[in-house]
Structure 1
Amino acid sequence: MENPQVEAGRLVLAGTPMGEVRDASDRLREALATADVVAAEDTRRTKTLAHSLGITITGRVVSFYDHVEAARIPMLVAAITDGRTVLLVTDAGMPSVSDPGYRLVAACVDAGLAITCLPGPSAVTTALALSGLPVERFCFDGFPPRKHGQRRDWLDSLIAEPRACVFFEAPHRLADCLADAAEVLGTQRRAAVCRELTKTYEEVKRGTLGELAEWAADGVRGEITVVLEGANPEPADPVDLVAAVEKLVASGTRLKDACAEAATAGVSKRELYEAVLAERRAAAD
């Protein structure tokens, strides 16, 4: 049960531009200019943003990033309790969405303090809108696991996931992530890779996982957001695809390559490979 709200200041969460400064809202401009405390993921970037907007930050600017988050929270909660307005901003997009903020919000909730949000840019919703995929229902998974085995386990959990999945990925890990996705989820499952959203070199690459894995193999730069198509609500039975695989094999394609080519949404290359071997064993008995 939440504590009764006390008479105090408030925490203001504010979305900041992802690259295009003109995306800054009038409310963000006002908040930057009037907040008593500005808690910023990167103080230099926030000051640069204010300068670009022609704004002078009159309040105290403090850093608020992963490694100092826990230490800063008591001070910020105390400031709000004393009646001050604390503005929380990150480098780009909405605070607490794979960025610092959640723990501060939770602390303010526990203390019964006022919290509000200034709507603003978000790479998640921007990528979903641009993807060209069915996104009426979606889930957000932050960043995939970095280690190969853990990443494949995560992808396994998405094999039958009917919702579109949006996630962030580091550019130097994108190729490996898409290659694993194509192998686990099937080369024909669709996705969109959104790069440098709202910035000068914005690019949205749409296609199948097989096509996108091949495209990313030579390296991709910039801030990356990926939208993955949800699984077919009626996934194909791997057995139904065995004949297609055997036809490819008969034409000279290696079995593993044939499985990768014939795999569809809901049926991974691995599942199909095992189904082919099972059918061959059954035929030999």
Structure 2
Amino acid sequence: MAIPMVLGIVSPPSLDLTAASLLVLISLAILGFLELSGIHLKYSKFFNASSSSSISSKVPSRVGMFLLYTPAFLVGVASFWLFPDGDLRFLFLKSAITIHFFKRIFEVGFIHKYSGEMALDKLIIISFSYFFLSLSLIYTQTLNQGFPEPSIDLMYPGLVLFLVGICSNFYHHYLLSKLRTKGGKDYKIPKGGLFELVICPHYLFEILGFLGISLISQTLYSFSVTLGCAVYLGCRSYVTRRWYISKFDDFPKDTRAIIPYVF
């Protein structure tokens, strides 16, 4: 059976994989449109933790964020033991996913400043989503082992793009952390880096990092994840800009949401 190769994307012919790719894209897009409609993820700045049901158990925000990312990180670590064989592309993919979630855990421990609490029920749902994302990206790549390489090899450009994305995302998270004093709950207009042009450069580089992962993987599923994340983060950045405009009279109106000079 012929292997479909379109723009360097190669995947074994599978209705299940095609359906899974479409499902993850639609799911992430729905989350984005929910953000636009005012329904936000429960660790968002737009969500008032005090509005959570008093019945729901809560944990400190820093502990909650550790619990969000740790299962996905452990999937990446375990993949080196569970799938010790594989080609260089698979090694780069496992490494990128593991590094991505390790960076998030590192930022929780040493970069970000937190106040308040997180609802445990919502934490479990979001943590499982990250866990499934990490697991599915790695598992779908195992299905490509033994198939011919794509006609257009984008693995090394993807690796470079991933490193640029993750380092730049870290830098802008660092700038955000400097805005808030320890224990403080106030927000300020971010400055420095690409914050002079867009209000969410960390989202922009998050998307570039996922695009790098997709170029490393070169599967339909990984590109669907990246496109879905781009839609979600694009919607979230639009809402973030709208929030800053409503809170700060001196917010620079020429600062875009996520793409300099464009959007």
Q: What is the TM-score normalised by the length of structure 1? A: 0.22
Higher relative helix content? 2
| Greater RCO structure (CA 8 Å; 6+ sep) | 2
Higher relative strand content? 1
